[in-house]
Every structure is written in structure tokens, then in C-alpha cells.
Amino acid sequence: METMTLANGLAIPAVGTGTNTYGKEGNRYHGELNGDFSALRSAIKAGYRLIDTAISYRNESGVGTTILESGIPRKEFYIITKIPAEDAYIGSKDLVEQTVMKSLENLKTDYIDLYLIHHPIKDKEKLKHTWEVLESFVDKGQIKSIGVSNFTIEMLEAVHNFARIQPAVNQIQSNPHTWNHELIDYLLKTNIVPVAWGPVSKVTPEQIDKLDKIAENYGKNWVQVLLRYQIQRGVVVIPKSHTEEHQLSNLELFDFDLTKEDQFVIESL
Ligand SMILES: NC(=O)c1ccc[n+]([C@@H]2O[C@H](COP(=O)([O-])OP(=O)(O)OC[C@H]3O[C@@H](n4cnc5c(N)ncnc54)[C@H](OP(=O)(O)O)[C@@H]3O)[C@@H](O)[C@H]2O)c1
């Protein structure tokens, strides 16, 4: 698996699997938890090692159990989770600390590779104390890297002003509906690795036609071309699938390079 390098020197796999509908009735985000982690088992079997979960997905525990039961050594995995920007979790330093400890317990691990603030915290004091607690977990080695999600440039600059440890990543939406090109350019310039969520979502039939045309030249499919575009510009992707065939093909991204012209067509979709 190809990796990208974070500002702290640690590697992050270039492709991971999302999990936000895993372990849920009807494969729906808001579905009842049903303990069915067959899709995650199949992703791990296909070769995914970066697993992206979050407290809001309500499935940290099932994700942790599935990883443990895979029998694959913990150090081969790259686990991401996220703290919700809600007072119940970030209202005080003690709450943040309890939240991280609970994630470690749920995920059944001694350390978490990447811990993110899931959404912007508007209250500056709460943002600061949340970040400070995350930094203290890095000091203790229980979190390897810390970052944010859905942060704008302005919000990142607010963190930059007080952070002892700068955010390693910003996980944001990026797909043909909402590329976030400007934000991604800023992240790449400031050495914050962008992670694209929803990378396969919101693509119109017309856009798929254009991607299909490009894909034909490489013997690939439209999703592979879309994901390759992101990786080629330095963006980590975390597509999620409940279909084994898709999980496998979404990993086949490293045996071709898009030309400048094709990258331009995709960028302008
Ligand atoms: N930080 C945040 O605020 C945030 C927000 C949203 C999501 N996320 C994370 O990002 C992950 C990915 O985003 P997402 O799950 O919303 O959407 P996504 O990965 O962009 O799209 C998932 C959909 O794409 C389909 N798909 C995947 N591979 C395909 C392929 N090769 N061919 C055809 N269809 C394919 C899947 O259907 P099949 O099951 O049939 O393959 C599924 O319906 C989430 O699971 C979550 O971990 C983070």
C-alpha cells in the first residue's frame, strides 16, 4: 500500500475504507446497530488497513472487535476516529479525556493512529482545551497523530495560533459536487494532508460519462480514475463500499498515472 507522509514524519496509507454504515441495519447511516461487520471483514480481506470510524457512527466497538478478530497485527492497521464537537464530549478537559479513553477501550487498542475533531468547535476556549487534551495523549503515545475534520482555512488558522502540535490532516468532503479545491491547495501548501470523505459520492451521470471516457484509456473504471486523481495530487481517499468487487477495485489505483490533460478534465468536472 502506498503511503503519504504527515508533517510529523509518520506515514498514512493513501487509501482506506470508510465505515459510517457498517454494523447497521439496511447499511444506513442512521440504521439500528445490528452487529453485522461482514463488510469490514471483507474490506480487511481485500487489503484495507486504514479504517476510518468516528464516535458519531456508533460503531467504534464493532470496528475494534472486527480488527482484533482479523488476527492481523495491530501495527499493520491505521485507525482513525473522531470526537464529536458537542458539549457532552468536549465541554470540559475531563470530558475530552474520558472520550479519548472510551475510544481506546471501544477500539480495543493501546493507541489510535489519528484522532480528529469531527466538526469545527465554534467556542475558542473549548477548541483550545480539546486540542490541548489531544496533544497530551500524543505526549503519552496513546494517540500518534491529531487532526481536524470539516475545518475551513480560517478555523485552521485559529488552531495554528495556539497549537503546540499542528494538525496533521483535515478530513473534508471532496468529490465532483464539492471539490474543495481552494481548501485542498491551502492544505497541501501548509503541510496538512487532506483526506477526502465521500470521494465516490454525488457524481452525476454526465460526469460518470466523462470519467468513463478517461478510464477507458487506462483500462480502469470511473471510480478508479476519480480516486487516482485525488491520490495523484496528494489527497488520501477513504471510499466506503458494501460490495466486495468495489472494495477490491477501489484498491487498484497504483498501476497507472493520469496525464496532466486528464487531471485537468477531472478537476474541471
Ligand atoms: N469527516 C466527516 O464529516 C465525514 C462525512 C462523511 C463520511 N465520512 C467518512 O468517509 C467515508 C466515505 O464516505 P461515504 O461513505 O459517505 O461515501 P463514498 O465512499 O463516497 O460513497 C459510498 C457509495 O459509493 C458506492 N461505491 C463505492 N465504490 C464503488 C465502486 N467502485 N463502484 C460503484 N459504486 C461504488 C458505494 O456503493 P456499494 O456499497 O454498492 O459499493 C456507496 O453507495 C465514510 O464511510 C466515513 O468513514 C466522513
**Residue 111 appears among annotated catalytic residues:** no
Low-confidence spans in the chain with pLDDT less than 50: none
Within 8 A by CB and 6+ apart from 171, the residues are 52, 80, 82, 116, 147, 148, 149, 150, 194, 195, 196, 197, 238
Which residues, including other chains, have CB under 8 Å from residue 181's CB and lie 6 or more apart? 267
Query: How many angstroms separate the CA atoms of 120 and 156, rounded?
Result: 9
Q: How far, CA to CA in Å, does 76 sit from each of 103, 115, 231?
A: 19, 17, 21
What confidence score (pLDDT) does residue 242 get?
Answer: 98
The pTM of the full predicted model, rounded to 2 decimals, is 0.98
Task: Indicate if ligand 1 lies below 6 Å from the C-beta of 150.
Answer: yes
- Ligand 1 atom, smallest distance to 249 CA: 31
- Report the candidate in 113, 91, 112, 116 with the shortest Cα–Cα distance to residue 103: 112
Q: Render pLDDT for 96-116 as a digit per residue (tens, 0 to 9).
A: 999 999 999 999 999 999 999
Cα 28 to Cα 23: distance, rounded to the nearest angstrom: 9
Question: Which one is catalytic: 48, 57, 89, 115?
Answer: 57
* CATH 3.20.20.100 for the 13-201 domain, yes or no: yes
Which of 163, 168, 170 is CA-nearest to residue 129? 163
DSSP string, 58-111: T-HHHHHHHHHHT-S-GGG-EEEEEE-SSHHHHSSHHHHHHHHHHHHHHHT-S-
Confidence (pLDDT) at 244: 98
What's residue 2's pLDDT?
A: 96
| Domain ranges within the chain, ordered by starting residue | 13-201
pLDDT of residue 3: 98
The pLDDT of residue 1 is 85
Which atom number of ligand 1 is nearest to the Cα of residue 172?
Answer: 1
Measured between alpha carbons, how far is 48 from 13 in angstroms, rounded to an integer?
9
